[in-house]
Structure 1
Amino acid sequence: MINYVYLYLVSPLHTGGTTQEGNLLGIARESHTTLPYIPSSTIRGRIRASVSDRVQRIQLFGPELDDIKNFAKDYQAATEKELKQLEQGDIWVGDGSILWLPVPSLSHGIVWISCPMLLERWKRFCSIEDAKVPVDYSTNISNKGHVYLKDAILENLSDWPEWKSFVPQTPETTSIKQLLVLPNQHCTTLIQMSLWRQVKIKLDDHKSVQGGFRYEEAIPPDTLMYFPWGITSQANGTAQASQTKFEDLLSNNQILQIGGQESLGRGFVQQWLGNNTSNQGV
């Protein structure tokens, strides 16, 4: 069974990418869509670090070399299991994907955008088979005569009365009200244009600029994302217990800091367990 967790970005989030173009430090991107995402290793590492009980940490996420060297006997005494080599734990964690991303609008303030591809991807994890992914240019905006998004002017938009099926109806998402579904290609372009770019400089001992400027990309706050998770085949006889422990772990850490620049207030997200029944419109 595949479960999922929602992430609502409280502040801009930067996860390091593999390339740097000129003075622009990019973020992690999917190779086939070029859309920003959060690597599963980043999410897993952050959640793992929040577990104080070492036995539970090894059971859920697997051991590290230090655990095998210094904790094998204690772990065996607590679980009656030997700890001899690196192996996976009971929980697997997937990549974080965008569901809705906010963009500025001259006509409507803020509009959250997505596309059929992203909505189809999310729908695979949810029990909403009866909800049909909307066609391009569908919206729930009431005054939709002309919608201005950056360099685009949109008109002749289609009504989307079933929009609540594609937004979790929880207190965390009450601000997500004006939605617009764009074609896949146009959505990717607009997301790229809407990323935060922070200018950074380095000062020398005399407070003078040393070197040139550098720009860092970040996913904007108020973006709604999610990541899937589940139980591995390693969880032989402990699946239900491990699932309960992981859910309790998430419930006790509703605010997480993911990525770098924690001292600058970057990467803070509010997370909560996905609930299939909460996705249904009311």
Structure 2
Amino acid sequence: MDRSSGFIRTFDAFRYIDGAIDHQFTVDELVRKDLVINLDLVVAMPCNYIHTNVRDSTDDRFLAAELLNYQGTTFNIPRWYEQSAKKIVTPELEAVLERSLQARFQYQGEHHDEGAPACRIFGAIPVNRVKGELHITAKGYGYRDRTRIPAEALNFTHAISEFSFGEFFPYLDNPLDMTLKKTDTHLHTFKYHLNVVPTLYRKLGVEIDTNQYSLSLTESSGKYVPGIFFQYDFEPIKLVVEETRLSFWQFVVRLATIMGGILVVAGWLYKLFDKLILLTFGKEFAKRGQEKKEGGLLDNVEDFEKI
């Protein structure tokens, strides 16, 4: 547990020693024209049936298959893949720093064993930083193609191992990572709606510039073009997650302020207690003991010296 979280965070001593994690939204000052989508998923259909395409609001289109790698495989998905929606949370700063190992795909545009029963599609796709869509469909559906795959051969059951935006950090957890979606119908449509927020993690001079996203999913059968669709949009704000610490002099000033406040409150409590005694027991009880001080042996010493 982070000692700077919860009620402990209110104590400046812990903020001076351990620091505090600060979350702030700010306008993204960087002019970002493009970025990449990092993708690694398996579709329960042969690679030579699949068509991939990217298009955006600027009408820029290209065949993603020219950059993505297609590798024929079998649809054997580990049982720990989640079939329900994952809880979306902002990762802890320490966890991000521990897992911020950058990587890249070694090759692109290579296709192997395209006739295997399932297809692994992976790689990095450069896209414009505007509203856009990544489509994974079957040949002959949604786009013109020389061939048309029979409807009974379609199966868009899929498992996603990686889906992220920007620099590729394979150990960071994203909402779509390790998720599985199944369908029993051939003409099934999966539509993922993603809102991407640039996120900067900063601690002790180390900066991790990445992106996180929220998502929603809609499904239908026979109503739209069958396939897997990722519709993404970018927010104009940036989330900055950083560790902040008080300087020594700020800590001293705030500590002195706290001590002064404690003394003032203690004075008020003392006066209040004195008033309560006076109201409850009367003046005789409140002044009890003062007659002893006034009637002591040394009270008349001054008069004795005058004699």
Query: How does the TM-score come out when normalised to structure 2?
Result: 0.21
Query: How does the TM-score come out when normalised to structure 1?
Result: 0.22
Larger radius of gyration: 2
The structure carrying a bigger strand percent of its residues is: 2
